[in-house]
Every structure is written in C-alpha cells, then in structure tokens.
Structure 1
Amino acid sequence: MVALDEPLPYIGVTPFQLVSALIILILGYIVAKILVSLFKKSMRKTKLSPLVIEFLGRFLAILLYIIVIIVALGAVGISVSPLILGISAVIGLILGFGLQDTLTNLAAGVWIAALRPIDLGEVVEVSGQVGKVSGIGLMSTELMTPDNRLITISNKLIWGSIIVNYTRMPTRRVDVDIGVAYGTDLDLAIKLAMDLMRNHPKVLDDPEPSVVIAALADSSINLQLRAWAKTEDYWDVKGDLTKGIYELYTKEGIEIPFPQLDVHMKNE
C-alpha cells in the first residue's frame, strides 16, 4: 500500500499533493463562479450597462481561474515564481512573433465596453454584418442575424470600422419609394400618399410625414414617402405603407410603371 506522503514513481508527487490540487481546482472553480455571480449581481445595482457588466464579469472569471490554477500547481510542489516568469516569457514571445492581435482585441473590447457604441440587444451593422448584439467578450463580439445565424467578430474589427446602430435612437424615419407614370396628376398622388401616412396609427405626427419627388427616372417619376415612427414600429410601418400605397394607387387608377425601353425601327 502506497503511503499518502510518499512520492509516486516517475512523477515525484505524493498522492496527498494530487488530491489537494484536485480539491483546490474543484473548490476554486465553485468559489470563482460564486464570486463572479455576486459581482454581476452587485454591478446590476449601478448605472453600468449590461454590456459593461458582462465584460467585467468575464474578465474577473478569467483572472480568478488563473489564480486557482497557480494555487493548485503550488500544491503539487511547483514554484509559483518560475511560473510567473514563464507566463511573462510567453507574453514576450507572443509580442515578438507579431501575435499582438490578442492584446489589440482585448484593448478594443475595453473601449467598446466603456464607450458603448453598441449595447446588448441593439441591432447594428458593423464590418458588413447586420444583427442583434447577443454578447461581447474580451476578444470578440457576437451578433445574431434575423435568420438565426450567430456571427462572431473580433473586437479590433468592430472598433476600427464604421458602426451603424439601428435601434439606439427612440424614433426612425421610414422611407418608401414608389414610381408613377409620366403624365400622372402629382398633386393627387402626393395627397393620397399623405392621407395614407396620416391615417396610420403608428406614424408620428411630429415630425410630420412628407412626400418628395426623388427623381425623374427613365420610366417613372419617383416619389418617396417619409414617415416617422417609433424604432420598435419601424418594420410594421414600412410594410403597411408599402402595401398600402400600392393598393391605393391601383384603386385610384394611378399607374405604377415597370422599366421599359421603346425601340424605333427605321425602314431604309
């Protein structure tokens, strides 16, 4: 029978040390989860955004896990000082071989969490991708697309690109484009469009809706309906106005032309 205080063959570690390290890892993991949970709970009582709280929670969790691992290694007789020196050497190698993208992503994540150009639950367009912000971590940010695809983007790409936030403001302008045939009574067409927007329950009175002549195109006179709505009503209003203006113009006999080309043949 092997004594608990006698080193095991080949590894030079006692069973007591192995059991102690295992207990430290298990208890340390549980304690770290509890501390992170309590930290997030206390932070939610402040004015910090959920995005910042989630970011700080993940950062604290990683820090605590590293501490637990170092303590567990110390329990099996591994000196902590050489380990810290080793970690420093690894960081030096990372920087030396041009892999500083990790630190760049980390720094970008800090700026995103602090300045909040995007926040959890907002719909944004960034790096050519559109989706709802579902999470932000130390290294990357996650977007959920309308068709339920999860997109992960490095934080440095987000911080270094143009960000379009579709839901940050409380109201948005709904633009609906439609073309009418040349020769159409524009006053009547504009009046019908204005009545349609003013009678819609989700179109705001202030700013008031408007209709502009957007272009004299090859096959049509292009009108643009401009109505303001609450951000959460944007797609409902856009769909209703698009369908409504088509049905209204069809009912009133206003022609909505399709692109066409007249070809004249010359007899020689």
Structure 2
Amino acid sequence: MVALDEPLPYIGVTLFQLLSALVILVVGYIVARILVGVFKRSLKKTKLPPLVIEFLGRFLAILLYIVVVIVALGAVGISVSPIILGLSAAVGLILGFGLQDTLTNLAAGVWIAALRPIDLGEVVEVSGQTGSVSGIGLMSTELKTPDNRVITIPNKLVWGSIIVNYTRMPTRRVDVDIGVAYGTDLDRAIKLAMDLMKNHPQVLDDPEPSVVITALADSSINLQLRAWAKTEDYWAVKGDLTKGIYELYTKEGIEIPFPQLDVHLRNE
C-alpha cells in the first residue's frame, strides 16, 4: 500500500498531492459555476442585452477555470510562475490587438464630443451614409435614414472621413436645374423664373434669388434657379420650385427639350 507522502512511480508526486489537486479541480469547478451564475443573474437585473450578459459570463468562467487549474498544478508541486508569465504575455497580446480598434474609437468619440462636427438631430453625410444623427456614443455614432433605418458607424470612421452637415447652418441655397430649347428668349425665361422665386412665400429676399446659365448642352441651354430658404424649408421650397417652373414654362410656351439624336441616312 502506497503511503500518502510517498512519491508515486513515474510521475514523481505524492498521492496526497494528487488527491489535493483533484479536490481543488472539483471544488473549484463547482465554485466557479456558482459564481458565474450569481454574476449573470446580477447582470440580468440591468438593461444589458442577453448577448452581452452571456459573453461576460463566459469570459468570467474562463478566467475562473484558469485560476483553478493553476492552483491545482501548484498543489502537485509544479512551478506555476512560468505558466502565469506565459498566460500574461498571451493575454496582453490578445488584448493589445483586440483593444486597438476599441481605443481608436474611444479617442475619436472624445474628439467628436469636444469639437462637435455633428450633433443630435442634424442631417449629415458620413462615410458615404446620409441620415439624421440619433445617437453619439463613446464607441459609435447612429444615423437614422428617412425610411427609418438605423445605421451604426464606428467613431473612427466618422472622425476619419469627410463630414457633410446639411442642417448646421440656418439657411441653405436651393438649386433647381432646368433646360430650355435653343432659340428660346432667355431674358423672358429668366424673368419668369425670377418672378416664380420672388413670389414664393418661403424664399428669402436676402440673399436675393438668381438664375444663371450653367451650360450650353447638346440639346438644351441649361439654367439653374438659385433661391435661399431656411434650412427647415429646404425640401418644401425645392419641390415647389421644381414643379412650379415646369408648369410655368409649359403654360408660357417655353420648350423644355429632351435629349435628341439626329440620324442621317445616305443612299449610295
């Protein structure tokens, strides 16, 4: 019969050390399960999503299991210092790579909060996405589109891209493009467009509206109506002027041409 304090053949540890390690593993596993259960029940009382709670619970369980294994290895006389150092280096490397984007997003969030290139409720174009700002967090920014979709953009992409803020200024210029046929009386066409803008109740007198010739295109002379309006009236004014100039030119007999292609056939 082998004594408890005598080393076992081939493995070099005593029976007492082996039994101690086994007890530590069993008891440690049970205690870890209990602690993880208590931890998860506590988190369920908060507003954290179930997915986050499950992730944090599994992370804590892994940490506790590692601690139990290290303690069990120490009970059988194995030096755990190299193991701890190795695990520390591995964990540090993993966290370094894993937290790199997290820290970048956090720093970008601080800059956004400090300099405020965007604010809640503003309509912006960020990283190729357009919508009203519905949330600005430490890690990400949320945009809500006109069709009620929510777009979440990491803060590093918000801070690192060109930001177009459509509603920061109190007024905006409304541009409406329209083409008239060659041979049109341009002075008359411009006067009609000016009268349309000046008679619109939401078009501002200062700055004064204007009409400019933007191009001599293949099939038309392109005009652009430029009217200033309050930012909140932008789309209403744009819709009214677009519809109004079409109806007015049609009524006054001013031709709005469409692209045309002349084909000449030759008989050999």
Report the TM-score when normalising by structure 1. 0.69
- Identify the residue that residue 94 of structure 1 maps to in structure 2: 95
Q: In terms of mean alpha carbon deviation, does 176-185 or 100-109 score higher?
A: 100-109
Report SS of the residue matched to 2:102: helix
1:68-107 alignment, distance < 5 Å: 90=91, 92-95=93-96, 97=97, 99-107=99-107
- Residue 119 of structure 2 aligns with an amino acid whose one-letter code is D
- Identify the residue that residue 56 of structure 1 maps to in structure 2: none
- Identify the residue that residue 208 of structure 1 maps to in structure 2: 208
For the pair 1:254 / 2:254, whether they are aligned, the reply is yes
1:98 positional shift: 6.5
1:14 positional shift: 11
For the pair 1:131 / 2:167, whether they are aligned, the reply is no
CA distance in 2, matches of 1:238, 1:88: 61
CA distance in 1, matches of 2:89, 2:237: 57
Report SS of the residue matched to 2:95: helix
Residues 26/93 of structure 1: CA separation in 2 closer, same or farther (3 Å cut): closer
Note the residue ranges of structure 1 that are not aligned, 5 or more in a row: 1-8, 34-65, 71-84
1:157-168 alignment, distance < 5 Å: 157-168=157-168
CA distance in 1, matches of 2:200, 2:266: 52
CA distance in 1, matches of 2:89, 2:233: 53
1:105 positional shift: 0.7
Q: Deviations over 1:122-150 (max 9, x none)?
A: 00001100001111222111111111111
- Residue 176 of structure 1 aligns with an amino acid whose one-letter code is V
1:91 positional shift: 5.4
- Residue 207 of structure 2 aligns with an amino acid whose one-letter code is P
CA distance in 2, matches of 1:197, 1:91: 65
CA distance in 1, matches of 2:178, 2:145: 28
1:109-188 alignment, distance < 5 Å: 109-188=109-188
CA distance in 1, matches of 2:144, 2:260: 40
- Residue 210 of structure 1 aligns with an amino acid whose one-letter code is S
Q: Deviations over 1:50-96 (max 9, x none)?
A: xxxxxxxxxxxxxxxx9xxx9xxxxxxxxxxxxxx99998455322x
- Residue 194 of structure 2 aligns with an amino acid whose one-letter code is M
Report the TM-score when normalising by structure 2. 0.69
- Identify the residue that residue 232 of structure 1 maps to in structure 2: 232
- Identify the residue that residue 191 of structure 2 maps to in structure 1: 191
- Residue 110 of structure 2 aligns with an amino acid whose one-letter code is V
- Identify the residue that residue 58 of structure 1 maps to in structure 2: none
> What root-mean-square deviation, in Å, do the aligned CA atoms of Structure 1 and Structure 2 show?
3.6
- Residue 123 of structure 1 aligns with an amino acid whose one-letter code is V
- Residue 196 of structure 1 aligns with an amino acid whose one-letter code is L
CA distance in 2, matches of 1:88, 1:193: 73
Q: Deviations over 1:94-133 (max 9, x none)?
A: 22x3651111111111111111000010000011000011
Residues 156/91 of structure 1: CA separation in 2 closer, same or farther (3 Å cut): farther
Report SS of the residue matched to 1:161: coil
1:263 positional shift: 1.0
CA distance in 2, matches of 1:201, 1:241: 11
CA distance in 2, matches of 1:220, 1:230: 31
Note the residue ranges of structure 2 that are not aligned, 5 or more in a row: 1-24, 48-55, 61-84
1:267 positional shift: 2.2
- Identify the residue that residue 108 of structure 1 maps to in structure 2: 108
